[in-house]
Structure 1
Amino acid sequence: MTPEQLALRDAVRALLDKHSDVRAAIETPHGYDKDLWARLCEMGVLPIPERYGGSGATQADTRVVLGELGLTPSPLLSGVIAVEALLASGNVSACERLLPRIASGAVATVIWPWHEDAARFVVDGDQAEILLVADGDGLYEVDPAEVTREHVPTMDPTRRLAAVRLEDASRTYLGPWSAGVRDVAIAALCAEQVGAAARALELTVEYTKTRVQFGKPIGSFQALKHRMADLHVLVETARSAAGAVVDEVSAAVAKVYCSEAFFKVAAEMVQLHGGIAITWEHDAHLYLKRAHGSGQLFGSPREHLDRLGRLIPR
C-alpha cells in the first residue's frame, strides 16, 4: 500500500475501534450505524472524483477501507458498485446530479442483473435512496418511491439484502451498462472477505493465547500452531488474489479463492474456539454466516469456476 493508503487504513481502524458496534448496528431498523456511515463519508472513503463532490479516492483506496470494516455493516459495498456504474455510463449530467449525493452519504445500489420486473437479494435495496437498474445492456435510474421493496432476512444479519419489485415503475435511461462493473464489484467484495478473514484469524490467535488446556495455553500446542500458520498463509494468498483483479479471469479466480479462504478461516475459528463459538453471544457464528453469504454474492465459487472454463482457452 502507498503511504496515503496506510494512513487511510489507520484512520479507519481508529474510527472503527471507537464507534463500531456490530450487534447494535444490526438491531437498528436500517441495519447499520448511520452516524458511523456519516463519519466514513466525511473521510471520503467512496471512489468518487473531486469534480463530482468526492475526495478523489480510487477503487484501490476504497478496497483498503472495505478490508478494515470486517463485519461492520455499512452501505459501502453497494455504493462502490453504484459509483462505478454511473462513471462507466459516461453520463456527465447524471454523475453531476447523483454522485455528490452519494459522496454525502446517500445510500445507492444497483439492481443487477434485472429480469422480469423483480429482483431478490439486492444489497441495501430496501434502504437505497438512489436506485439504479441494469439489464445487461443499459443502466437506468428508478424512482425508489415507485417500487415495492422489503428486507429479506437471511442467515447473515450483517448484510442487508432486499427483494425489489419494479413492476410499472418508470425508468430513466442513463447510458450503457459496462460489463467491467461486475469485476469491480467482485474486487471490492474480495477485499471485504480478506479483511474479515484476517480479523477472524486475529481473534482466534488471541483466544488461543488465553484458553488453557492441560495447564497450558492451547496456542502453545504445536498442532494448533501449524493450523494457524496454514490459515495465515491462506489469508495472505487470498489478499494477493484480491489485489490482482484486473480482468474477468483474475476476478473469477479471486472470487473463488477468497470465498473459499474466508469460509475455511471462519470454520477453523469455530473449531479452535471450542464450545463458546457456538453460543449466540460470541461473534464466531457471525463470521461463519458472513463467509457463507458473501461466498454466494455476485456468483458462487462453482459459477465462477464454470466462468473460468469458458474464459480460459484449452
Structure 2
Amino acid sequence: MFTEEQLELRKTVAQLLNKRADAAALRRTLESGEAFDRGLWEVLCQQVGVAALAIPEEFGGFGATVVEQHLVLEELGAALTPSPMFGSVVLAAQAILASGNTEACERLLPGIAEGSSIAALCWVGPEGRWRSKDVACTASGRDADGFTVSGTAHYVLDGAHADVLIVAASVEGEDGAIALFEVDPSAGGVTRRALPTMDLTRPMSVVEFASAPAVRLTVGDASAALERVRDIAIVALSAEQVGAAARCLQITVDYSKERVQFGRAIGSFQALKHRMADLYFLVETARSASYAAVHSLGEGLPSAAADAAVAKAYCSEAFNAVAGDAIQLHGGIAITWEHDAHLFFKRAHGSSQLFGQPEQYLEEMESFAGLHT
C-alpha cells in the first residue's frame, strides 16, 4: 500500500523519536511545564520536514499527501509525543488551505511548514460537538470596514502558544453563514488560558474573544471547508490512535514475558495469550480502518467522509480497549505515576472524546448508509 519512500519516512521518524523522545524524555517535557519539546520539534521540521508534508509547494511545503503525514502521526502517537503537529499542521494549516484564500496561504503557510510559526484553530464551544454549524464565536462587520469576533472557543489545540489564530464564526446578518477569520493573539480583546487536561500530552486551551479585530479569510459560507477539515482531523487522529495502541500492546506483551507468577511468565498462561491475541486483532483491524480512511481521503473518493467516521469510531474504541486491558494486565504497577501505562490510558480516553464521541460518528454512519440504500 505504501511506497518505499513513504516507508523510509516512517522509519526515519521512528528512529529519531527512539533517540530523542523516549519515555524519559516525555516525562521531562511534562514536568518542565512546557507544552512540547521545542528542540525536538525543530529537528522534526528542519531535518525531516514533517510540518511541510501536506502543504503544497507553492506555499512553502513539500507537496506530498495526507498519506505521508499519516505515517508520521502514527509514529508520534506511538511515542505520545507532544508537538504542534496536530493543532498547527493538521487542524489550522488545513483550515487555511480549505479557505481558498491564496494571499493568506502565501503569508501564513510557509512559517507553519518550516515549524517557525504555530497556528491554532478556534472552533467549538463547551459541548465539543465539532460540527460545521456548531461554532463558538460570532463575527460582525463588513468587508469594507473590517470585522470583529466575539465568543469563547474551547478545546483549542496549541491555542495558548499559537502565533496566529484561525477562528470559525457565524457572521451576523448573513443568515447563519460560517466564515473563517484570522486573529492576532496579541490583539486587544483576546484572552488565552491553558486548560487542565486528563491527557497531559495533549495541551488545550480556552480562547476568549471580546470584539477582537479579525481578517476574513473566506468568501461565502465556509461550512463545507470545515467539514473537510474535520474529516482530515479525525483520520489523522486515527493514525495517532493506532500508533499508540500498537505501542501500548507491545509494552504489555513484553511485560507478560518478564512478569513471573506461580513459577512461570504470565504470558505463558493460555487465558492471557487469548486475551492479548484479541487485542492484537483489535489493533490490526483499527490499522486497516485507519489506512482505508486515509486512502479514501487522499484519493478524494465519494466514501471519504463515511470511511473517516468509521476510523474515528473504531480506532477510538480499539485504543480504549487496548489501554484498559493494559492497565489490568500490568496489575498494580499500572496505576502508579512512575509507569507509562496510565499515559496511554489517558491519551486513549482523551482522544476518543476529541472531535466528538464515537457514538456521534456511529449516528453519522447510519446517515451515510441511508444515503446509499
- TM-score, length basis structure 1: 0.96
Please say if 1:45 is aligned against 2:54: no
* Aligned counterpart, 1:58: 65
* Aligned counterpart, 1:232: 280
Please say if 1:312 is aligned against 2:369: yes
Residue deviations 1:221-241 (CA, integer Å, cap 9, x gap): 111111111111100110111
Q: Superposed, which structure 2 residues align to 1:225-304 within 5 Å?
A: 225-245=273-293, 246=296, 247-304=304-361
Please say if 1:119 is aligned against 2:180: no
In the alignment, which of 113, 118, 127 is matched to residue 107 of structure 1? 118
Residue deviations 1:204-255 (CA, integer Å, cap 9, x gap): 1111111111111111111111111111110011011112223221111111
Residue deviations 1:185-220 (CA, integer Å, cap 9, x gap): 000011101110011001111111111111111111
Mapped contact 1:123–1:159 kept (Cα < 8 A):
yes
Counterpart-to-counterpart distance in 2, 1:283 and 1:36: 20
Mapped contact 2:119–2:164 kept (Cα < 8 A):
yes
Give 3-state SS (helix, strand or coil) of 2:160's partner. coil
- TM superposition outliers: structure 1 runs of 4+ over 3 Å: none
- Residue 309 of structure 1 deviates from its aligned partner by 2.8
In the alignment, which of 18, 21, 24 is matched to residue 28 of structure 2? 24
- Residue 29 of structure 1 deviates from its aligned partner by 3.2
Mapped contact 2:181–2:217 kept (Cα < 8 A):
yes
Q: Superposed, which structure 2 residues align to 1:141-290 within 5 Å?
A: 141-146=182-187, 147-175=190-218, 177=222, 178=225, 179-245=227-293, 246=296, 247-290=304-347
* Aligned counterpart, 1:130: 164
Counterpart-to-counterpart distance in 2, 1:135 and 1:218: 55
- Residue 306 of structure 1 deviates from its aligned partner by 2.1
Give 3-state SS (helix, strand or coil) of 1:135's partner. strand
Mapped contact 1:238–1:258 kept (Cα < 8 A):
yes
Counterpart-to-counterpart distance in 2, 1:127 and 1:51: 26
* Aligned counterpart, 1:74: 83
Counterpart-to-counterpart distance in 1, 2:340 and 2:254: 14
Tell me, which stretches of 5 or more residues in structure 1 are unaligned? none
Counterpart-to-counterpart distance in 1, 2:113 and 2:33: 23
Equivalent residue letter for 1:85: A
Equivalent residue letter for 1:283: D
- Residue 311 of structure 1 deviates from its aligned partner by 3.0
* Aligned counterpart, 1:88: 98
Equivalent residue letter for 2:305: E
More displaced 10-residue stretch of structure 1: 248-257 or 26-35: 26-35
Alignment length (residue pairs): 314
Tell me, which stretches of 5 or more residues in structure 2 are unaligned? 125-134, 138-150, 171-177, 297-303
Give 3-state SS (helix, strand or coil) of 2:181's partner. strand
Equivalent residue letter for 1:269: A
* Aligned counterpart, 1:2: 3
Mapped contact 1:45–1:57 kept (Cα < 8 A):
no
Residue deviations 1:43-90 (CA, integer Å, cap 9, x gap): 111221222222223211111011001211111011212121111211
Counterpart-to-counterpart distance in 1, 2:39 and 2:63: 22
Identity of aligned residues (%): 55
Counterpart-to-counterpart distance in 1, 2:45 and 2:288: 27
Give 3-state SS (helix, strand or coil) of 1:54's partner. coil
Equivalent residue letter for 1:81: L
Mapped contact 1:109–1:131 kept (Cα < 8 A):
yes
Counterpart-to-counterpart distance in 2, 1:163 and 1:89: 23
More displaced 10-residue stretch of structure 1: 67-76 or 79-88: 79-88
Equivalent residue letter for 2:284: E
Equivalent residue letter for 1:191: A
Mapped contact 2:193–2:206 kept (Cα < 8 A):
yes
- TM-score, length basis structure 2: 0.81
Please say if 1:97 is aligned against 2:125: no
Counterpart-to-counterpart distance in 2, 1:182 and 1:304: 12
Equivalent residue letter for 2:354: L
